[in-house]
Amino acid sequence: MAPWERKEDTECKEFEKLIPGFIGRKLDFPTLKRFYEHWERCGECREELSIQFLVAEGMQRLEDGNAFDLQSELGQRLEETRRKISYNSAFLYIGSALEIVASGFLVWIFVWILL
């Protein structure tokens, strides 16, 4: 990163590069989570996502001749993303907790066998 470039600028550039992947639903979970977290705190990137979503989806809909409410669809897509992140995070925490319990149980069995 250049000395004059702020961390936020770099994050915004990365965010902009990921927009097509978000629109195409091609982001993996860690990338999607980073994308959404940046979207939550950066007004400029929220606006950029709206513009790119409206252009990309709007052009496709015009070609297909379908009616559309793209702003509402973007809101639904972002809500779906928030739920997906929430569910995946919960499963990660549950998985970690189960791993700790299983490890403790194995240690207990090992100690019980030795005594």
- Each residue's pLDDT tens digit, 7-41: 667 899 999 999 999 999 999 999 999 999 999 99
CA separation for the pair 109, 63 (Å, rounded): 65
Which ranges constitute the DSSP H helices of the chain?
Answer: 7-23, 29-41, 43-64, 70-114
Map tokens 């979207």 to a residue.
39
CA separation for the pair 62, 89 (Å, rounded): 37
Whether the pLDDT of residue 109 is over 70: the answer is: yes
CB contact burial 14-48 (16+ within 10 A = b; e otherwise):
ebeebbeebbeeebeeeebbebbebbeebeebbeb
pTM of the model: 0.68
